[in-house]
Amino acid sequence: MVRSADSVMSQVRIEDLFNDSRFPSGAGVIGVVLYFPVGLLLAVLRFFIGLHTYVISCILPKSSIIRSCVFRVMYGILGIVVTVTNPENRDKRCKVIVTNFVSSFDRTAVDLVYPAIMPSVWDLPPLLNWMLGYSNMGVKQGRDILIRNAKKHLLESNLPVLAHPEGASTNGKVGMLKFSVWPFSLEDPVQPILISVQRPIPIAASVLGGRWWLDVFWSLFVPYTHFKLRVLPTMEAQDEESVEDFTKRVQQVMAEELGITATNFSSADKVEYAKRKLIVQPDSSTNSRKATDQQSQSSQVAPPSSPGADTRLHTMAMQVREVLPHVPIEVIKRDLGTTRDVDTTITNILEGRVKYEPESERTQSSSRPQVKPTPVSPSSNAAKSFSRSPQERTLSLNDRKQALLENARRRYLQKNSQQQ
């Protein structure tokens, strides 16, 4: 049985756990396009209604029955419909509620039926935390601080603690992320509640890398979002059962009830996958596109407009070549075709803007024209090759570049005076 479960778990890929796109593919997107004007108007109206709902949430006590009834109606207008299956399994003495995580509104859906406090992962002011139904329990200070503050809350308050032990949302269709152990370390029984989300329009409740405010917008946009809560019997650790084993057992029970797989992927794995999917791939495609553009630009040297222009380009190239003897003449001409300036081309080569393979001594001697030597001695700053490392180059780059430019100017002026 364990071997079979492990084999199924190994078949689940991390990319199967999340929605890459919020919208359907194929013909399904046509319905979204046709509905868009209505949905946009609905989202605007619901936004202002939501502001009034927020004000009411600040006035009415959190555990009040009146608040629960008013909120059920108000959130129904906002398009959030909540139904509960097996409510008889809810044990009011159990003060730790754990759920799976499928959308940004999971906490709201549970709070409408079973008011609870959730540890805040943001550094918000105490008043704002209270208004939003969160509590600062030191999540960012470490697990031990979080567990200690959660235990203190359970002793001092009648409101249960709500936790999403997965730590990150999934699509809820294939697998469940590995549970964090902190909710199961409170030495209290836990009440598992399963959450599933349905919408009449196929717009995903959450996507990989999606922003919370976009989740809110699309929730206001669709006609309604149906949250189905299924309450499971309370569970507690058995004798001599470790916290890790208890956590794993609750995860497996919840996954089996949902008909999905309890995976070993964690919320940290989701973050790494999101980096690879949303950051590395776009960067690599951008770099490849830039490389293609540079290659196409370098292959298209501006043609000379006349034989005289060709001679002038060759003369400028030889001037650059005298300063930088190891740079291929074709590379120099290619950059000169763009800059039309000797100093600018030398600067581009020195600063690494022009890529090239240094020529060998034999190639240089065969390609270099035989000219009468000038009395100016070659500059010692004209290195055979220039380091591509910024750390090695920055110490003397400016001095070397200035010396090379001055040397090129002197040679150019001497040649002109000799020709005259």
User: E strand or H helix at 293, and its extent?
Assistant: helix 281-299
Task: Identify whether residues 320 and 206 lie together within a single domain.
Answer: no
Number of H helices, E strands in the chain: 16, 9
- Last residue of some domain: 239, 265, 291? 265
Alpha carbons 163 and 34: distance in angstroms, whole number? 38
Whether residue 297 lies inside any domain: the answer is no
User: E strand or H helix at 397, and its extent?
Assistant: helix 397-419
Q: Kindly report, residue by residue over 363-393, the tens digit of the pLDDT.
A: 544 444 444 444 444 444 444 444 444 444 4
* Cβ contacts of 239 within 8 Å, gap of 6 or more: none
- Where residue 178 falls among pLDDT bands split at 50, 70, 90? very high
Q: Kindly report, residue by residue over 408-419, the tens digit of the pLDDT.
A: 667 666 655 655
Q: What percent of the chain is modeled with pLDDT above 70?
A: 72
**Number of domain units in the chain:** 2
Task: Identify whether residues 55 and 169 lie together within a single domain.
Answer: yes
SS3 letters across 233-269:
CCECCCCCCCHHHHHHHHHHHHHHHHCCEECCCCHHH
pLDDT at 261 > cutoff 80 = yes
* Cβ contacts of 387 within 8 Å, gap of 6 or more: 393
| Average pLDDT value for the chain | 79
Identify the pLDDT of residue 174: 95
Identify the pLDDT of residue 204: 94
Task: Identify whether residues 261 and 325 lie together within a single domain.
Answer: no
Alpha carbons 221 and 40: distance in angstroms, whole number? 6
Alpha carbons 206 and 195: distance in angstroms, whole number? 14
- Where residue 304 falls among pLDDT bands split at 50, 70, 90? very low
For residues 142 and 159, the answer to whether their CB atoms sit within 8 Å is no
Q: pTM higher than 0.75 for the full model?
A: no
Task: Identify whether residues 93 and 231 lie together within a single domain.
Answer: yes
Please provide the DSSP assignment of 133-174 as one string: TEE---GGG-HHHHHHHHHHHHHH-SSPEEE-TT-S---SSS
Task: Identify whether residues 232 and 338 lie together within a single domain.
Answer: no
- Last residue of some domain: 206, 240, 265? 265
Whether residue 329 lies inside any domain: the answer is yes
Task: Identify whether residues 99 and 203 lie together within a single domain.
Answer: yes
Whether residue 237 lies inside any domain: the answer is yes
Whether residue 301 lies inside any domain: the answer is no
Identify the pLDDT of residue 370: 47
Whether residue 286 lies inside any domain: the answer is no
Whether residue 276 lies inside any domain: the answer is no
Q: Kindly report, residue by residue over 105-150, the tens digit of the pLDDT.
A: 999 899 889 989 888 876 666 666 666 677 888 887 888 899 999 9
* Cβ contacts of 84 within 8 Å, gap of 6 or more: 113, 229, 230, 231
Alpha carbons 342 and 320: distance in angstroms, whole number? 6
Task: Record the tokens describing residue 305, joined without a space.
Answer: 């407009």
Whether residue 378 lies inside any domain: the answer is yes
Task: Identify whether residues 106 and 223 lie together within a single domain.
Answer: yes
Task: Identify whether residues 213 and 81 lie together within a single domain.
Answer: yes
Token pair 């509620």 is at which residue?
97
Residue length of the chain? 420
Task: Identify whether residues 370 and 261 lie together within a single domain.
Answer: no
Task: Identify whether residues 172 and 47 lie together within a single domain.
Answer: yes
Task: Identify whether residues 229 and 100 lie together within a single domain.
Answer: yes
**Over residues 331-359, mean pLDDT:** 79
Identify the pLDDT of residue 143: 84
What phi, psi does 233 have (nearest 5°)?
A: -60, 155
What phi, psi does 60 have (nearest 5°)?
A: -80, 145
Q: CB-hemisphere CA count at 13 Å for 241? A: 15
Strands 225-231, 191-198: pairing is: antiparallel
pLDDT at 83 > cutoff 50 = yes
Alpha carbons 167 and 214: distance in angstroms, whole number? 19
Task: Identify whether residues 181 and 322 lie together within a single domain.
Answer: no
Whether residue 306 lies inside any domain: the answer is no
pLDDT at 280 > cutoff 80 = no
The residue segments making up the domain with residue 44 are 2-116+159-265
- Last residue of some domain: 265, 299, 329? 265
